[in-house]
Amino acid sequence: MSVIYCAMILFIAWQATRLITIAGKTSSATASDDCLVTIQGNVIRPGTYRVAPGMTHFEILKVAGIRPTSDISGFDLTRQISGNQQMDVGTMPNPVTLKKAETVNLEFFMGQVSIIAADGKSRTTEEGLEIAEGDRILTDEKAQAEIAINGFSRVDIDEYSEYVIDKINVEEKGKKMASVFLKSGASWQKIVYANKTEVFKVATPFATITVAGTGADFMIMVKQDEVDIHDIDGLLLVERVAGAEAINMIAGQSAVIFRDNRPIQVTQLAAEVNPADRFSILTKAKTDFVMRHMPFQFLLCAVPGVYYFISIQFETGKVHSVHIPGSTSIEEFVQGCSTLDQAFLYGGAVFVSTLVEQIMDSRIPKYIIITKDDLNRMAATIGGISMNVDEKAASALRVPRGLQKLNNAQLLKYLNPSLSGTKDFEMRQNQTMRAVFEGFRSKNIVLTALLSEQLISAMETNFTSNEIMNNYTKFSEIKNWTYIEHELPLKQVVQNGKTRDDPNLEECKTLLQK
């Protein structure tokens, strides 16, 4: 989709001084220029690394691998390496965790779906409804529902099913337990753990399923005399209710737990077991609803330390871009982690998306991560951008002042902060952003299915090329687009002699409406 492609390229234009400067240094560095950095302490891959000058502490720690208990509070993540050095990573007494307990919400439903509270009273069924412990979700004929658990996980519930929310993040033996009871019918669980302290269980009349590892993708069908479990991805621990038998299931296996206590039957996952087909109508209905009524929102992460929240509002013809500094404080939401760039090291784009959702009070289902290699590759993919070149830049680029089409090398030089100072650099960022946006709006830049596939193939993202092209088509149908830039509302707070950038949450939540 052109808006995503546009945002990607805008991101290139919008990168902080660090990214462009490092890109130049890296390309010209030789082996003799390399620095030796020794990383010791609580990291996944300690050792000595040979890195190019200009590499940041953020990038080095990312390669070394951060654990939930790694103490990186003493590092300036934007600091660049200029010589041999040693980095010692300490250990925190407790792992990084979200302070606020996550919730269970009704994401979407179709057909007749009933929510019955623990006291037997019916609740109003509506998208976004927060589900409480003890609530029962009942689906009638041709009805399906999707619920979100703890921000990351999704559960699709089929027709003629009864799904009971038993526990929501209850502390048990040092773990945060979320458990549900599938009394009847079928459900498709797509469970993702944010950290190692989470546990998710599904109870059925004959067996209990516990998700192991970092998460799992599986379907459960409760029948009169048996329970069928289909493990599409991940590791599952399956135990009989009576505790007489237990097995570990791996991806690609199916298991049948019989009511009459026959041994658990394990077979290879059959080709016809496809939950995506079973819930295709629900998925299509949700997609159509979101495409018609909801803004399309995603997070752009340029490592190290640059983040943008993009909200594309098809109904109003507006694209909002919110710049979120990596130094943004998240201490209100997280224990053991201070800033957004630290959060990326602990949990990647998914963790950062969760935090930005809380800051902006808005759902952010998609993300894109852009590295320095992506920066160079994508800048070359543009094939040139037409813009008005100011006198200082024209002199440096040796081109006439005024409207010029800048190629890849010229664009990178045009966006070099050392060209004529920070103020001019920021002005040129905005000009480039506007130029690319105008290119898409006027259809001077055209996105194809092949190009969209090439763009995302080498990047870390949860976008698919089909999603990009579907939204590109929708974007192209609207002529009068407006691009609106925002800076995240921040307030500086001094505490214990340290200054931090706290988001002004009230202003953040109404920023896009303004």
Strands 153-157 and 162-172: what pairing?
unpaired
Instruction: Note if the pTM is more than 0.75.
Output: no
- Cα separation of 509 and 297, whole Å? 15
Q: What is the pLDDT of residues 456-483, one digit of tens each?
A: 777 788 888 888 888 878 878 887 888 8
| Torsion angle in degrees (nearest 10) through CA of 395, 399, 405, 407 | -80
The tokens for 327 are 């130094």
> β-strand 490-495 against 498-503: which pairing, if any?
antiparallel
CA-CA distances (angstroms) from residue 263 to 113, 208, 226, 255, 286?
36, 15, 12, 10, 40
Strands (E), 290-359: 296-302, 306-313, 318-325, 334-335
Looking at residue 142, its amino acid is K
Residue ranges in the chain whose pLDDT is less than 50 = 1-30
Each residue's pLDDT tens digit, 359-413: 998 888 888 887 656 655 665 665 667 778 999 989 988 999 998 888 767 777 7
Cα–Cα nearest to 42, from 346, 327, 343: 346
Q: For residue 244, what is the DSSP state? A: S
Instruction: State residue 382's pLDDT score.
Output: 58
Q: What residues pair up with 227 in beta bridges, in sequence order?
A: 222, 257
Structure tokens at 436: 């690319």
- Token pair recorded at residue 39: 């990383």
Q: Top-level CATH class of 2-15+292-510?
A: alpha beta
Q: Rounded CA gap, 484 and 104, in Å?
A: 33
Q: What's the confidence (pLDDT) of residue 497?
A: 74
In angstroms, rounded to a whole number, what is the distance separating the alpha carbons of residues 228 and 207?
Answer: 10
- The per-residue pLDDT for 373 is 61
Count other Cβ atoms within 10 Å, centred on residue 302. Answer: 24
Tokens, residue 191: 């469970």
In DSSP notation, 65-107 reads -B-TTEE-TT--TTPBP-S-EEEEEEE-SS--EESSPP-EEEE
402-406 and 136-139 strand pairing: unpaired
Tell me how far apart the alpha carbons of residues 185 and 193 are, in angstroms, rounded to a whole number. 25
- Tell me, what's the pLDDT at 423? 67
For the chain, what is the total number of helices (H) and then of strands (E)? Answer: 13, 31
Which structure tokens are listed for 81?
């390496």
Strands 226-240 and 253-258: antiparallel
Residue 25: the pLDDT is: 39
Helix 17-28 / helix 372-382 crossing angle, nearest 10 deg: 90
Q: Which fold has domain 99-284?
A: Jelly Rolls (2.60.120)
DSSP-assigned letter for residue 127: T
Q: Which two tokens stand for residue 151?
A: 């921000």
Q: Residue 59 and residue 78: Cα distance in Å, rounded? A: 9
C-beta separation of 509 from 489 below 8 A: no
3-state secondary structure 356-411: HHHHHCCCCCEEEEECHHHHHHHHHHHCCEEEEECHHHHHHHCCCCEEEEECHHHH
Residue 494 has φ and ψ, to the nearest 5°, of: -100, 125
Among 213, 219, 258, 220, CA closest to 240: 258
DSSP-assigned letter for residue 56: B
Neighbours of 304 (CB within 10 A): 25
